[in-house]
Amino acid sequence: MSLWVDKYRPKSLDKLDYHHDISKRLKALASSGDFPHLLVYGPSGAGKKTRILSSLRELYGPGVEKLKIDVKTFVTPTNRKLEFNVISSPYHLEITPSDMGNNDRIVIQDLLKEVAQTESVDFSNIVSNMKPTINKKNKFKVVIINEAELLTRDAQAALRRTMEKYSSNIRLILISNSTSNIIGPIRSRTLLIRVAAPTNIEILSVFNKIIEKEDLLKFLPKDEIEREKLLNNIANYNDRNLRKAILSFEALYMNNDIITISTPLIKLDWEEILKKLADSILIKRSVANIQHIRSILYDLLSHCIPARLILKTLVINLWEFCSINDKKYKIKSKDEVKLKIVNTGSIFDERLSLGSKDIFHLEGFTIKVMVILEKDSL
Amino acid sequence: MRATRSGRSRGRKAALSDDEIEVQEVKPKMQKKRKPSHSTKSSISSLSMLSRTFNEGKVSTGANSADSAVSAISANNNKKNEVGKGGMGGDDSRQWIDKYAPLSLADLAIHPKKLQEVRTKLKEMVNGETNTRILLLTGPAGSGKSTVVKLLAQELMHEYAKNVKINKDFLINENEEENDDESSKYLVEFINSNLSESQSMVTQFANYLSEVSFLKGPNLKLILVEELPNIFHSETRISFQKAVNDWLSLPGSKLPPLVFCITENEFNDDQGERLYNVENNFIAETIFGSRILNNNKLARIKFNPIAKTFLKKQLDKISTCESASLVDISKSKIDEKIEKLSLNGDIRSAINCFEFWARYYKKISNENNDDVDDLFLTFGKESNLNLFNAIGKIIYGTNHRDIEIINYLKLQDIQNHGKDYSKIDQKIAKLSQSEIDQITISNVLASFSNKSVFFNLNLLENYSMLNSSNFPVCDELASLVDNLSLADIYNSKQMTEIGALLAITSTRYNMRLIKDKIDDDENLDNAYLKYKNNKLNFSRHYKFLRMFNQVKNGIKDYQLWKLSKLSSSTSSSSFLQDEDYGPIPTTLSETDCITIDGYLEPLILNSFRNQEKLRLKILSSHSSGVNYVPSAMLPKYPRVGGPFRSIPNLLSDKQVVVDDSDLLQDGNQYKSIEEKILNILVGDDSKINDEFNKDVDSSDTEFENDPIVESDEDTGTGIKKEKPKDEFLNDFDDSFSSSENESFLANEELEALLSQRKK
């Protein structure tokens, strides 16, 4: 049994539900048999990976799905051994070098060098021709690099060299959430493809497809308008992240006999925590609460939730709460407060990327916000 | 500057004038040597915002130290002349530390109350009047731990031996009387190097303990362990801890009293990244682990550094005994010296210092130089700040101005701090609070500027303790944390000196402002009172790191599990080649794993619909024998990385966090759960029924163990593997963990089932 997200994942470019223009272009690229390095960016859950894998399938056929997982070991200059998972098919490799933290440069360099120096040889025709032919189509190997925005500067610089040096037999596809952390030289060496988050209507069309295939209508509201509203709510709540939306739709269905418009939506645990946190920052502006908040922050951080995501979510929550509930929090001039909060948030966001111990900066942000509110409260 | 110097030491003038040229040559060198303090100073002025208030105090003391540097040189020269004149002869070749070792309890330099405490405890243990089996004495070096034990052992065991003789008419082994050393009659010591070669290092201690456990009854001896096996080797440590634990839980009432004397030693070396473990913190918590320390059969008595009065008494006594060798030294000089040394707290080091001072004084004093006494104060123990002491000083301010200043001068120029003693008293009164603060900061910086990351984390953990009542936030607090945050950036750019300086200065400065605020505001009286009683906490950072790594491992395993699941489903469906939809094997990003899938997927997998499906599957695969599947049998998938503990909030731990067991989680939970399901599905009926009994077994101890159940190991792995994780979580959170609720549910269901079957 697999999840709906996986079960209904389109495998070919033709079956993609939205962004048809991108699909068309990718198809054109794939049919030409060659393509440049790509930088695919867009918010998470927009379908970047799906599009890339579909175009690889277009290019190489279903062989790309015959995957194996290898564990490669690398040795750092300090003689520490690193283990690193590489997923590979005969035609491509998929790596997530940001897993290695500061050692990502070594991984990038060594691995790509190794890949680039072994020319891929096609043995599929060996029986008929008795001679391995270097298929023109398979002249290069594709390397998919996940979470490219998390690569260190060092690694990105190394990547840039590799791109130039081995461009004849290696093609890189970088996947990233935004281009802002990617250095200029790489951006200029790649073809940028932006995959935007699907609109609500597009998400609804995906939902409807699933509903049809899974025969879910009997569990959903009979009234069409109500049903649409419910689905819209799900899509909205999940920030137009398709993956998240489908998963949470499935979770909703699996845990309820019948879904009505009043059925509470599935809320992510950490997001709820951050909402409560934002609320408590606005209400309880005391030292005791700071201690309390520190525990919560430590908890979130220890669950590997990126500090910058925490900060971003907090700022958004605070912004929303200030706009909607300014009476509750006794805010005098909400626009000014909002501006100051965003300003503080951006300062500490930078510090998070510069510093190493996230807790200092997150706590600094909370206190600053508390002080802003303290000064502005009625 | 020169004017002050010559004015100050008239007697030295002659000697100095000879060296006049040399002094000037050496001067630049000296400045080079003192560079650290200079660089600190310049970095202070670069951060002028914070330090403006302190600068004055700094400058004045700075002048002082430059002055004394000059006189230090002359002292150095004198020393050079002395070297090579040969050692010192004496009647008694023994060192004073042995010569004047206390022979009776009355001679001990420790506080009578502490002595009484140890005596009572030990007496109870010797006579078997208590269930305490281990006495643990901890404290700094030279606080008299082992001496107390040795002397008490003599006294108590003598009493005990008498009682045994009279009451039971037992004869004490004659041979023992002939033993060479008096103390060995009463006490055996664990000595590391004694082990025979056949013994493995790892089990050595356990073997030793099992050997000595027979030393009871008439042969009763006290077992003293001062030397530990090599606990830095993790296997040895685990075996050591196990041996101690076994000792504690050994059945039978009577065991010889076991005494551990541990000299605690905090962070020798910490780069801020490593775990809080035995390697950098040699203290009871890391050596034994919390499980042993919390055992009620272990009594722990902490020793403090020896108080000034006691230490002084001892030194005075020695000086009267040694009056023969001290004739050349004037009485006032000796008194002054004793006064200084008695601040030391370490009796061993104090006596040693005193001895060497006395010996060399005679020689050097021939040169008629006043500086001699200063020269040897460097033999004194260097002041090493304890972490919590330092944190307390920064957050609450110092309580002992004079000690602070003396330490400061000591640090500023090591060799000549004695000079200003008389002047200090007058100066202290004049110093403003901000100047004192500046001095405190310098002192703390001297010890911690290279451990900035670590220190700042602890500052962060503790600054809010100042007023944990409903004290509103204020600009000062914001600026404090703001600077800590900036300091972190410096730290991560390897500029830890600035990081430490910024963090410590800003914390002290802002804390003082806050305190003033509290003092001024009557409404906040309560807050002030409260902060006085607060204990300091150790930073949770290491706990966090451990947790973080565990979660990370969990995520990795989840990723792999997912990947293998996806690729297996593609390979199985590869017959239907050109499907348009279907799983594509690819890795999920870590963030998505934890923020989206890690929560939603278990929610889907554990949903009632899924459970129902699974139940039907099980029932259909076992057509006979099984007619009901309790939900406890259906495994639950945990949230990736474990549940959040935030909502029932945990307070910061009051105790030191200890890396006592290697709790590394086996993250393959998902895999093991899947295997379990497979087992249920594939396994034959009897196995399933066993599974039933097994559940009954684990939930209800009244059922007798079924041998078949025990042999059925592979199905049990799932359960077994989950256990450590739950324990770990409970460690964090006192509230009900989900597993408890589940087992509770399971019980109910089982009871219902049982009653059904009876009918």
Q: What is the complex's ipTM, to 2 decimals?
A: 0.88
- Domain limit, last residue, from B532, B562, B597: B532
B101 assigned to some structural domain: no
Q: Which pLDDT band, with edges at 50, 70 and 90, does B248 fall under?
A: confident
Q: How many domains does chain B have?
A: 4
Give the architecture (CATH level 2) of A269-376.
Answer: Up-down Bundle (1.20)
Judge if B601 and B696 occupy the same domain: yes
Domain ranges of chain A: 4-194, 200-255, 269-376
Q: What is the mean pLDDT of chain A?
A: 84
Evaluate the CA torsion angle A126, A128, A129, A134 in order and state its sign. Answer: negative
Residue A71 phi, psi (nearest 5): -105, 115
Judge if B487 and B354 occupy the same domain: no
Judge if B69 and B150 occupy the same domain: no
Above 90 in pLDDT, residue A39? yes
- Optimal mutation site among A249, A303, A350, interface B, most CBs of chain B within 10 A: A303
B663 contacts: CB under 8 Å, gap ≥ 6: B546, B550, B724, B728
Q: What Cα–Cα distance (Å) separates residue B671 from each residue in B202, B297, B644, B722, B743?
A: 34, 41, 22, 12, 21
pLDDT value of position B686: 53
What does the alpha-carbon distance between residue B335 and residue B330 come to, in Å, rounded to a whole number? 9
pLDDT value of position B530: 53
Segment B278-292 mean pLDDT:
68
Contacts with B, A 202-241, CB within 8 Å: 241
Judge if B140 and B256 occupy the same domain: yes
Judge if B625 and B738 occupy the same domain: yes
pLDDT value of position B242: 83
Q: Say whether A269-376 and A4-194 share the same fold.
A: no
Say whether B608 and A255 touch across the interface (CB within 8 A): yes
Q: Which pLDDT band, with edges at 50, 70 and 90, does B632 fall under?
A: low
Judge if B295 and B319 occupy the same domain: no
Q: Which CATH number fits domain A4-194: 3.30.750.24, 3.50.50.60, 3.40.50.300, 2.60.120.1140?
A: 3.40.50.300
Above 60 in pLDDT, residue A368? yes
Q: What is the mean pLDDT of chain B?
A: 64
Say whether A266 and B641 touch across the interface (CB within 8 A): no
pLDDT value of position A323: 86
B649 assigned to some structural domain: yes
Which of B485, B569, B641 lies at the smallest CB-CB distance from A361? B485
Q: Which of the two residues, A99 and B529, has the higher pLDDT score?
A: A99
Residues of chain A with pLDDT > 90, as a percent, come to: 18
Segment B133-155 mean pLDDT:
81
Say whether B580 and A15 touch across the interface (CB within 8 A): yes
pLDDT value of position A4: 87
Segment B555-570 mean pLDDT:
79
Closest CA to B503 of B531, B471, B481, B472: B481
Q: Which of the two residues, B172 and A337, has the higher pLDDT score?
A: A337
Q: What's the CATH number where B117 sits?
A: 3.40.50
Q: Is B533 helix (H, G, I), strand (E, B) or coil?
A: coil
Q: Which pLDDT band, with edges at 50, 70 and 90, does A40 fall under?
A: very high
Contacts with B, A 131-170, CB within 8 Å: 146-147
Residues of chain A with pLDDT > 70, as a percent, come to: 94
Q: Which pLDDT band, with edges at 50, 70 and 90, does B411 fall under?
A: low
Q: How far is B453 from chain A (nearest CA, A)?
A: 8
pLDDT value of position B696: 39
Residues of chain B with pLDDT > 70, as a percent, come to: 52
Q: How far is A109 from chain B (nearest CA, A)?
A: 21
What does the alpha-carbon distance between residue A142 and residue A95 come to, in Å, rounded to a whole number? 11
| Lowest-confidence segment of A31-40, A361-370, B686-695 by average pLDDT | B686-695
Q: Which pLDDT band, with edges at 50, 70 and 90, does B1 fall under?
A: very low
pLDDT value of position B249: 79
Q: Which pLDDT band, with edges at 50, 70 and 90, does B77 fall under?
A: very low
| Lowest-confidence segment of B80-89, B237-246, B288-297 by average pLDDT | B80-89
Residue environment code for B18-44, b if the CB has 16+ CB neighbours within 10 A, otherwise e: ebeeebeebeeebeeebeebeebbebb
Judge if B668 and B588 occupy the same domain: yes
Above 80 in pLDDT, residue B412? no
Above 70 in pLDDT, residue B524? no
Q: Which of the two residues, A327 and B65, has the higher pLDDT score?
A: A327
Nearest CA in chain A to B486: A351
Judge if B490 and B454 occupy the same domain: yes
Above 60 in pLDDT, residue A362? yes
Q: Chain B within 8 Å of A292 (Cβ-Cβ)?
A: yes
| DSSP code string of B248-287 | HH-SSS----EEEEEE-B--SS--SSS-SSTTT-BSHHHH
Q: Which residues in B lie closer than 8 A to residue A368 (C-beta atoms)?
A: 478, 481-482
Above 60 in pLDDT, residue A123? no
| Lowest-confidence segment of B238-247, B552-561, B646-655 by average pLDDT | B646-655
Q: How far is B458 from chain A (nearest CA, A)?
A: 11
Could you tell me if B281 and B267 are in contact, meaning their C-beta atoms sit under 8 angstroms apart?
Answer: yes
What does the alpha-carbon distance between residue B523 and residue B471 come to, in Å, rounded to a whole number? 10
Above 90 in pLDDT, residue A344? yes
Segment A277-283 mean pLDDT:
88
Q: Is B180 helix (H, G, I), strand (E, B) or coil?
A: coil
Closest CA to B641 of A97, A154, A269: A269
Say whether B642 and A303 touch across the interface (CB within 8 A): yes
pLDDT value of position A75: 79
B636 contacts: CB under 8 Å, gap ≥ 6: B602, B606, B673, B742
Segment A288-294 mean pLDDT:
83
Above 50 in pLDDT, residue A275? yes
pLDDT value of position A365: 94
Say whether B600 and A49 touch across the interface (CB within 8 A): no
Which of A1, A44, A364 lies at the smallest CB-CB distance from B484? A364
Q: Which residues in B lie closer than 8 A to residue A367 (C-beta atoms)?
A: 473, 477-478, 481-482
The token pair at B474 is 């204020």
Question: Which range among B27-36, B366-375, B452-461, B730-739 has the greatest average pLDDT?
Answer: B452-461
Judge if B510 and B566 occupy the same domain: no
Tens of pLDDT, residues A178-215:
888 888 889 898 899 999 999 989 999 999 988 988 88
Q: Which pLDDT band, with edges at 50, 70 and 90, does B625 fall under?
A: low
pLDDT value of position A318: 92
DSSP state of B293: H
Above 70 in pLDDT, residue A97? yes
Nearest CA in chain A to B493: A355
Which of B470, B482, B595 lies at the smallest CB-CB distance from A286? B470
Q: What range does the domain containing B500 cover?
A: 2-75+388-532
Judge if B591 and B736 occupy the same domain: yes
| Lowest-confidence segment of A238-242, A354-358, B295-299, B499-503 by average pLDDT | B295-299
Judge if B172 and B249 occupy the same domain: yes
pLDDT value of position A84: 80
Q: Is A87 helix (H, G, I), strand (E, B) or coil?
A: strand
Nearest CA in chain B to A177: B589
Q: Which of the two residues, B668 and B296, has the higher pLDDT score?
A: B296
Q: Are strands B258-263 and B134-139 parallel, antiparallel or unpaired?
A: parallel
Q: Which of the two residues, B181 and B447, has the higher pLDDT score?
A: B447
Strand order in the sheet with B187-189: B187-189, B222-225, B258-263, B134-139, B298-302
Could you tell me if B715 and B683 are in contact, meaning their C-beta atoms sit under 8 angstroms apart?
Answer: yes
Q: Chain B within 8 Å of A71 (Cβ-Cβ)?
A: no
pLDDT value of position B80: 38
B105 assigned to some structural domain: no
Q: Which residues in B lie closer than 8 A to residue A354 (C-beta atoms)?
A: 489, 492-493
Above 50 in pLDDT, residue B349? yes
Tens of pLDDT, residues B588-618:
888 888 888 888 888 888 888 888 888 887 7
Q: Which pLDDT band, with edges at 50, 70 and 90, does A223 fall under?
A: confident
Closest CA to A47 of A58, A55, A35: A55
pLDDT value of position B463: 80
- Domain limit, last residue, from B264, B283, B302: B302
Which of A146, A147, A287 lies at the smallest CB-CB distance from B468? A287
- Optimal mutation site among A274, A284, A304, interface B, most CBs of chain B within 10 A: A304
Say whether B488 and A10 touch across the interface (CB within 8 A): no
A225 contacts: CB under 8 Å, gap ≥ 6: none
Q: Which residues in B lie closer than 8 A to residue A99 (C-beta atoms)?
A: 590
Above 80 in pLDDT, residue A279? yes
Q: Chain B within 8 Å of A295 (Cβ-Cβ)?
A: yes
Task: Tell me how many residue pairs between chain A and chain B have CB atoms under 8 A apart.
Answer: 261
DSSP state of B594: I
B82 assigned to some structural domain: no
pLDDT value of position B722: 35
Judge if B160 and B174 occupy the same domain: yes
